[in-house]
Amino acid sequence: MERDFWLSRWQNNRIGFHEPTPNAFLTAHFSALDIRPGGRIFLPLCGKSRDAAWLCEQGFTVVGVELSRLAVTQFFAESGLVPEISSTGSFERFEAGGVTLFAGDIFDLDPETLGRVDAVYDRAALVALPETMRRRYAPHLIALTKAAPQLLVTLEYEQSHAEGPPFSVPETELLVLYDSAYRPESVEVRDITGGFKGRCPARERVWVMPRRWPGPD
């Protein structure tokens, strides 16, 4: 998925992946990461997700990265917030109400620019990328966040029967991508009513992934 693909989706309001309310998997399972209030939660490829607002309501701060500047500006406008905007390298940084969003390409983001991360919530990043990009994304995310504990939502369907995005990420691939840094545990699997785009059976899976080694103090 090239840069122009996603920018076009936002520009033309083709954002069926956007959820207008906090994700049910997030609200049900985020506590399993055991992150204390005040923790800083990273949302990769966050769009204008309402999950950021929910996390703030629980006492966390949120940092996200999103390719589309339009999505970032819509998040703050729809939240009734006027962000402070600054430039940081190749990114624009928007900050207000306990939320910091970087507008730019996640692959250009480095740990120093991102800052401290206590946990990662990935509902729409890994599944938005084709397989070759997932192999690049996973180690980049691990390095960016020092393998901060992660709540991850994946999608499973027969990829040959339908085209993504979102893409199918089977358990075998998930383990190849993350098992060296995390201890992945599948905590919920839910069938998607009507299947994937009405073409084949599909299900969502929720992973709780603590790191395999002690983190920084």
Q: Which residues are annotated as a binding site?
A: 10, 45, 66, 123
3-class SS at 145? helix
Tell me how far apart the alpha carbons of residues 172 and 176 are, in angstroms, rounded to a whole number: 6
Tell me how far apart the alpha carbons of residues 88 and 9 are, in angstroms, rounded to a whole number: 25
Q: Please state whether beta strands 91-96 and 40-44 pair in parallel, antiparallel, or not at all (unpaired).
A: unpaired
Structure tokens at 106: 């996640």
Q: Which residues are annotated as a binding site for S-adenosyl-L-methionine?
A: 10, 45, 66, 123
- What are the CB-based long-range contacts (under 8 Å, 24+) for 36-41? 39/118, 39/119, 40/115, 40/116, 40/117, 40/118, 41/117, 41/118, 41/119, 41/120, 41/121
CB of 125 closer than 8 Å to CB of 138? no
Q: What distances in angstroms separate CA 115 from CA 40, 102, 138, 170, one per listed residue? A: 9, 12, 18, 31
